Amino acid sequence: MKHGTVFVSGTFNVLHPGHLRLLKFAKDSGDKLVVGVLSDQVAGVSAHVSQEFRLEAVKMHALVDEAFLINDSVNEAILKIKPALVVKGKEHRAKDNPEQQAVDSYGAKLLFSSGDVVFTSLDLIRREMAIQEPKTISLPVDFMVRRGVTTKSLSALLSKMKDIKVVVIGDTIVDEYISCDPLGMSEEDPTIVVTPISSKKFIGGAAIVAAHAASLGAKVKYFSVVGNDQTADFCRDELSKFSVEHELIVDDARPTTLKQRFRSRGKTLLRVSHLVQRSVDEPVQKSLVAGVKKACADADLLIFSDFNYGCLHQSVVDQLVEIATKNEMRIVADSQSSSQIGDISRFKNADLITPTEREARLALRNTEDGLVVIAQLVCLSAEAKSVTLKLGEQGVLLHGRWGKDWETDQIPALNSAPQDVAGAGDCMLVATSLAMCVGANMWESGMLGSLAAAIQVGRVGNTPITPNELLHELAE
C-alpha cells in the first residue's frame, strides 16, 4: 500500500548506489518523495561538498519530487511538512532515532529501507585521490641483475639526498581537479551533463619539481614568475608547507597558470587552461637571473623545469647555464611539449635531459630513426652527457656516456595500473637528478627515477614523493 508524502534526509556528499537504493525504496513507498539536504552548518564536518552542489545533485535526480536545505533540525523539518512516512537506511534500525518522536506526534510512521549502504560518499572522494595499492608496482628484476643494481644500494642513495642543495627555476602551474557527478545526456543537444561535487588544487609545473626535491630531503631554492592573484597565494602557501624556499616574481600582466581537469568516475572529461604563453619582459628576466645567480653560489644542482609558458627565455637559460658551469654544478633540464611546443636541445651542457620520445623528435625534426639513434642525436644536439627518454607505457630508455663509450638500456614501466600520468615526469626528473648528485651511476639513478614515477602515477594529483614511499617499494 502506498502512502502520501515520503521524507528522506541526509548529507548526500555524492549520490552513490547506497543512496539510490534508499531513494528508490522511499519513492516506491509513497506518492511523493521529498528530500531534506542538511546545510553546511547543520551537517558540520560531515559535509565535504558545498551545500549548493549537494542540493542541486539531489534535485536533479529523477526519483526526487522536491528537495530543500535543512537549516535548523531534521525534526523541525518533519513537523513542517508532516510526511506520511519518514524513511531511513537499514543501518539505523538498531540506533537511537530522534525522528521517532516527531512522527509519533502526528501519527505518521518511521520506516527503514531494505537495502544496506555499503560505502559512503567520502569513500568515493578519497578513493579518487588515494595512493594506488603497492601490489601494482613491481621492480624490474632483469634490468637490476643485468646492471648490478640492488635494493640495498638504492636505499643507501636515498639516505644521502638530505645533503644536496638544489636550485629550481621554471614555470609555476596549479592543477585543479574538479570531481563531477554524471547527470546524464542533455535533452537539447548531445552533450554530457555533470555537476561538480568537489575540487582539490595541487601545485604543478616547476613548483612541484621543487616540492619533490624538498620532500626527498634536499635543501631547495625555487625561482619563478606568477601573477598577482589568489592562485599565486596558494602557491606560496603550498611551497612554504613543503619547506621550499621560494622567490616568486610578480608579473601583473599575466595570470598564474591554472589548469583545471574535470573528472568523473576515474576519467578526465575536459581540461581548461588559464594561461599566457608569451615570454616574460626583460626586467623580469634580469630579476630571475640575479636571484638564481646568488642561489647558485653554494648549490650542487640546477634544475630547469620548462613548460614553455614564458618563464625561461633563451637569454635566461644561457646566462644560468654559464653560471652553473662556472660553479661546477650539475645541470638537469626538462622541456615539455604537450599542448605547447618546446625544444630540449636549447639547454646546453646538461648532465641529464629528460624528454619524451615526441619531445626529442620535435627537437631533432626527426620522425624516422630508431630510439637509440634518437637518444644519441638529442644528446649530441643538446651537448648533454645523458638522456632519460620517456616512452610512456613502455617505460624509459637510458642513454649516456660514462667514460669513453655510450651505453643504452631500457627500464619498463613499473606500475601496471596507473591512475593519473600527470606529474610522472616531474617526479622522475627529481629522483634521477638527486641520485646522480649523490654518486649514483646511470642505471641506479634511472631506477630510482622510474620507481618514483611508478608511485606518482598510482594516485590522482601531483603530490611530493617521500623517501618512505620509495623505501617501502624497495622493501617489498
Given a cut of 50, whether residue 117 has pLDDT beyond it is no
On the 0-12 / 13-18 / 19+ scale of CB atoms within 10 A, 471 is: middle
Task: Quote the DSSP letter at residue 131.
Answer: P
Could you tell me the residue ranges of all domains in the chain?
3-125, 129-475
pLDDT tens, 298-315? 999 999 999 989 899 999
The rounded distance, in Å, linking the Cα atoms of 354 and 385 is 12
Over 90: is that where the pLDDT of 463 sits?
no
What are 197-217's pLDDT values in tens digits? 778 889 999 999 999 999 999
* Amino acid 132: pLDDT: 45
d(CA 198, CA 177): 8
pTM: 0.72
Q: What is the pLDDT of residue 267?
A: 81
Give me the residue label for grid cell 644560468. Answer: 320
pLDDT in tens, 153-201: 999 999 999 889 999 999 999 999 888 887 777 777 778 888 887 788 8
What residues form DSSP beta bridges with 401? 406
Round the average pLDDT of the chain to a whole number and report it.
Answer: 88
Output the pLDDT for position 181.
80
452 CA to centre of own chain = 14
pLDDT (tens digit, 9 = 90+) per residue, 75-103?
A: 999 999 999 999 998 777 878 888 999 99
Q: What is the CATH number of domain 3-125?
A: 3.40.50.620
CB burial string 85-113: b at 16+ within 10 A, e below:
bbbbbeeeeeeeeebeebbeeeebebbbb
Type of residue numbered 462: N
Highest averaged pLDDT of the listed ranges 46-50, 130-134, 253-257: 253-257
Give the three cell numbers for residue 250: 610578480
Between the CA atoms of 137, 139, 143 and 148, what dihedral angle is there, to the nearest 10 degrees?
150
Residues in Cβ contact with 399 at an 8 Å cutoff, skipping those fewer than 6 apart = 372, 375, 376, 379, 386, 387, 389, 406, 407, 408
What mean pLDDT comes out for the span 238-251?
96
Q: What is the pLDDT of residue 37?
A: 94
Q: Which pLDDT score, from 0 to 100, does residue 348 have?
A: 94
Q: Which three cell numbers stand for residue 417?
A: 595500473
Please report the pLDDT score of residue 257 as a whole number: 95
Q: Could you give the CA distance from residue 119 to residue 126 in angstroms, rounded to a whole number?
A: 12
- Cβ pair 16, 49 in contact under 8 A: no
Is residue 65 predicted with pLDDT exceeding 60?
yes
Model confidence pLDDT, tens digit, residues 378-437: 999 999 999 999 998 899 999 998 667 899 999 999 998 888 787 889 999 999 999 999
Beta strands in 159-191 (DSSP E): 165-170, 172-185
Q: Does residue 127 register a pLDDT over 80? A: no
Reduced to 3 states (helix: H, G, I; strand: E, B; else coil), residue 458 is coil
pLDDT of the residue at 119: 46
Residue holding cell 603530490? 463
- Cβ atoms of 252 and 232 within 8 Å: the answer is no
CA distance 205 to 258: 10
CATH number of 129-475: 3.40.1190.20
pLDDT of residue 403: 67
Question: For residue 338, what pLDDT is reported?
Answer: 65
